[in-house]
Chain A
Amino acid sequence: MHIMEGYLDPMWCAVWFVVMIPFFVVGVIKLRKILAEHPEQKMTVALSGAFIFLLSSLKLPSVTGSSSHPTGTGIAVVFYGVGVCSVLATIVLLFQALLLAHGGFTTLGANCVSMGIIGPLCGLVLWKLIRKANAGVFISMFVAAAIADLMTYVVTAIQMTLNVVTSTGADFASSFIDFMSVYAVTQIPLAIVEGLVLAMFAQYLSTAKPEIFGIADENKLNPFSTEV
């Protein structure tokens, strides 16, 4: 879903950077607190980032000026919240732009808003709701990861539609339908696979390290909460 370098007009690049920055700053503050209070979490945070990098590098070209791939943000957002997820996503997006020509520097803000903020936030909301209904870890993680993935693509489609509408004067509704319908072909199966994979992993963790879900359930939904 990474939008390529040069695709967005300067105005939209700036807008998405402005949206991203507060989440990123709060994420850095929260990350510093987590690492100061739980230094042993450093490796797990780094591995969550590496896992996002790995999954989101498995891309399929999509007929939209973008690509389809799993996002891998479900685990990071459930464990550490939206702020930290946005920091991890930014680092990963920077690497992908540099090393794989996937995404770009000027589109970093837009890509971070979709993959690191709004998509994971939707996943986290559903995780909280389903866990409150006493559902198991497997179902909760499946829904959270799949929705985080799907919402990432919805947001990307909106970003690309807004850009096309302002730059070529295209019709919003028909452009959005075009972008969404093309993404749906590859992304719905990918989201289900990603949901299943992360659910399998969460199931394993719930038996091997059950305490980690205690931390995840206490995580605040509010992205601007700096409480650990």
Chain B
Amino acid sequence: MDELAYSSRMVDWAPLGKLLLVMCLLIVGLITESIVVPMITFVIGILLMAYSTNMKIPLILSLAIGEAILIMIIGSGMISIMGDPNEPALWEGQILWFKIHMTATSFNKAWIIFIRAIAGVTLMLSFASSTPIPHLAQAFRSLHFPSEITELIVLIYRYAFLLLERFLVMIDAAQCRLGYNGSLTAMRSYGGAMAGTFIFSMEMAEKSEAALACRNYNGYFPIYRPPRKMSVMWPIVAIGSAVVLYVFGLYSVGWIDMQQIFAPLFGW
């Protein structure tokens, strides 16, 4: 991800400014009842992501996004079938132990949640794909966050990927030894790999502590080219766009009724 972020066209934008813009857009999408506003924030997120990455998203990241979208579809579907029992049902029934009571309100709510979630993913990834973690830590430091926290942010990020790499090696090794032959053996192999990863991590912690001490580490990772500071334009743009979208959201409630759109398809 850092590689992607360092090559982003938005890497020189102020990290705090980007974070503020993303947070404002996320919040405005959440507080308005109009589905049009999350749709607009989704488009903004896609455009920012496209600009940031030049639409060259790594496969592993695409898979993560795909999985997140699957969870969103399932989650929104779940909300749509949990309607108010006192409202007339669009669809009623029972599958296994699930009582289904889909109402117009719950169906529309599910759609707005789905669009908000998708918009959230695009906005968050536009930020992540353009902000290396050391820049984020530097931004937190400039906000006077406790130095221990900013240090932990960088350390956890570094170790997480080292552990992941080690874990995948152990999984592959177990596979070479037919470690997934049967569910009990698979569980044992999986457990062994996890325990092995943590044990390895303890050894690695001692080595890396010594290595950092040798390089005069005193709790701060210096950055050769520090990120830009947030100019006054960022709050103006971020808060201004949020206010405009909020006002627009007040007027656009009910412009798009998903239940009406899907009614001919499902015969409601």
Contacts and interface: CB of A to CB of B under 8 A. Distances in A.
Contacts of B255: none
Interface string B167-208: 100000000000000000001001110110111011011101
**Chain B interface SS verdict (over half):** helix
Given A35-B148, A44-B205, A105-B23, A50 B156 contact: yes
B63 to A, nearest CB: 10
Given A28-B146, A42-B209, A197 B194 contact: yes
A64 B72 CA distance: 9
B124 A170 contact: no
A213 interface: no
A49 B74 contact: no
Contact of B78 (A51, A55, A65, A205): A65
B17 interface: no
Contacts of A46: 152, 155-156, 159, 205
Interface string B10-39: 000000000000110011011100000010
A175 interface: yes
Interface in A77-123: 87-88, 91-92, 94-95, 97-102, 104-106
Contacts of A87: 149, 152
Interface in B218-266: none
Interface of A: 4-7, 9-10, 13, 28, 31-32, 35, 40, 42-47, 49-51, 53-55, 57, 59, 61-67, 75, 87-88, 91-92, 94-95, 97-102, 104-106, 164, 167-171, 174-175, 177-178, 181, 193, 196-197, 200-201, 204-205, 208-209
B44 interface: no
B105 A99 contact: no
Contacts of B194: 55, 197, 201
29 contacts: A4-B71, A6-B29, A6-B119, A6-B120, A10-B31, A31-B148, A31-B152, A49-B159, A54-B164, A65-B74, A65-B113, A88-B156, A91-B152, A95-B157, A99-B64, A100-B68, A104-B117, A164-B79, A168-B82, A168-B83, A168-B106, A169-B85, A169-B105, A171-B85, A178-B78, A178-B98, A193-B191, A200-B191, A200-B195
A55 B160 CA distance: 10
Given A35-B148, A55-B194, A104-B120, A66 B71 contact: yes
B195 A105 contact: no
Contacts of A66: 71, 75
A99 B156 contact: no
Interface residues of B, number: 77
Given A6-B116, A168-B109, A101 B195 contact: no
B205 A193 contact: no
Interface string B119-140: 1110011011000000000000
Nearest to B97: A181
B84 interface: yes
Nearest to A212: B202
A193 B127 CA distance: 35
Given A6-B29, A6-B120, A201-B199, 20 more contacts: A5-B117, A5-B121, A10-B27, A32-B148, A43-B209, A46-B152, A49-B159, A51-B197, A54-B160, A55-B194, A91-B153, A91-B156, A99-B1, A104-B124, A167-B79, A170-B85, A181-B97, A193-B190, A200-B192, A208-B202
Contacts of B31: 10
Interface of B: 1, 22-23, 26-27, 29-31, 38, 64-65, 67-68, 70-72, 74-76, 78-79, 82-87, 97-99, 101, 103, 105-106, 109, 113, 115-117, 119-121, 124-125, 127-128, 146, 148-149, 151-153, 155-157, 159-160, 162-164, 167, 187, 190-192, 194-195, 197-199, 201-202, 204-206, 208-209
A65 B116 CA distance: 13
Contact of B71 (A28, A50, A61): A61
B209 to A, nearest CB: 5
Contacts of B190: 193, 197
Contacts of A102: 64, 68
Given A54-B160, A63-B74, A175-B82, A44 B202 contact: yes
Contacts of A193: 187, 190-191
B95 to A, nearest CB: 11
A95 B78 CA distance: 26
Given A92-B156, A95-B157, A178-B97, A170 B82 contact: yes
